[in-house]
Homo-oligomer: A and B are copies of this chain.
Amino acid sequence: MSRLNKTPISLGEIAKLLGAELIGESTKTISGLSTLALAESCHLSFFANSKYLKALQSTSAGVVILEKKNLSHCPGDALVMEDPYWGYARVSKMFARPECKAGVHQLAVIDSTASIPSSASIGAGVIIEAGVVLGEQVVIGPGCVLGENVQLGDGCRLHANVTLYHGVRLGSSSVVHSGSVIGADGFGYAPHEGSWEKIEQLGAVVIGNGVEIGANTTVDRGALEDTLIGNGAIIDNQIQIGHNVVIGEGTAIAACTAIAGSTKIGRYCTIAGAVAIAGHIEIADKVHIRGRSLVSKSITEAGVYASGSGGVMKYQAWKKNAARFRKLNELVSRVVALEKKLD
């Protein structure tokens, strides 16, 4: 799959797109992308991590996007620019799959009160309930269910088998991958005499523009207010977002992170994978949380945070340390006793 062939694109065209300086022939073409190690002469590659210096020096790529300072290591043609990784991201879009054809599949079920522009593409088996409003050029993959009064802005895309409950709203150009469920009930119950009284979840979920949500992620609807995801946030797979959570603009959250209800996460945060975040707390802007951390209290200051007792070690050694952890408080008392004796 990596050696995907497309209509060839000239280096001149790419240089223009990127605003990059081309060291090479502008009429030469490339027809695919690859890593430095595997690239052939028909491929474009990029150099953004010094770890791959040797791969750069011996690459067969037709052209490499790189910074000026690394030009001397490049054996062939180059596109010189400040941020090669971003350049590669932009070029990758030239290799994206073709757009879906507009039109409604005959086996889609669409309520007569829904508003579906003719530019929309609606797959087979899609179910669209009353009052749904879709923007221009929206793409709805096969098997999606859109509950009553869902609203999707222009250019949104739902991949196959996405479920949006009633009243969920997405801004423009947002994407949701397969298996994700947006707008299921938050986990709200009042305990009463040994049983749980369900609290109706009357809020919705409101998602901004240019948001991407991965596969099998869940975002619960609010209890009274709405659950909110800001513009440009990127949310990976299997993430759980509880009711009334607010996620700020441009924040990135990696897979398998869980965020309990009513927590507010600031803007431009990066939250790594498998993080657990308690409910009813606030996290400031530009906070970076490392993988597998637990956030149990509010974080008021930008910076990098982590928790946990570190990565794996051989089982036998680990076992002893973990046993010691169980008596850590006692150990401190023993040290205090020693300190007193010595004073």
Please list the residues of chain A having a beta carbon within 8 angstroms of any beta carbon in chain B: 1-2, 4, 33-35, 38, 83, 85-86, 88-90, 92-93, 95-97, 105, 107, 109, 123-125, 127, 141-143, 145, 147, 159-161, 163, 165-167, 177-181, 184-185, 187-192, 194-200, 202-204, 210, 212, 214-216, 218, 220, 222, 224-226, 232, 234, 236-238, 240, 242, 250, 252, 254-256, 258, 260, 268, 273-274, 276, 278, 289-297, 299, 303-329, 331-332, 334-335, 338-339, 341-342
Contacts and interface: CB of A to CB of B under 8 A. Distances in A.
B192 A86 contact: yes
Given A33-B202, A214-B218, A312 B289 contact: yes
Nearest to A305: B312
Contact of A304 (B141, B303, B315, B329): B315
A175 to B, nearest CB: 8
Contacts of A332: 324, 331
Contacts of A95: 200, 202
Contacts of A322: 306, 308-310
B258 A256 contact: yes
Nearest to A163: B178
A197 B90 contact: yes
Contacts of A127: 123-125, 142-143, 160
A86 B307 CA distance: 36
A179 B334 contact: no
B312 A294 contact: yes
A200 B195 CA distance: 36
From A196, A323, A338, residue with most partner B Cβ within 10 Å: A196
What is the copy number of this chain in the assembly? Answer: 3
Contact of A255 (B242, B268, B293, B312): B242
B276 A292 contact: yes
Given A163-B178, A166-B97, A303-B314, A335 B342 contact: no
B147 A260 contact: no
A338 B296 CA distance: 34
Contacts of A341: 342
Contact of A315 (B181, B202, B290): B290
8 closest cross-chain pairs (CB), A and B: A296-B311, A310-B322, A92-B200, A89-B190, A304-B315, A184-B215, A320-B329, A305-B312
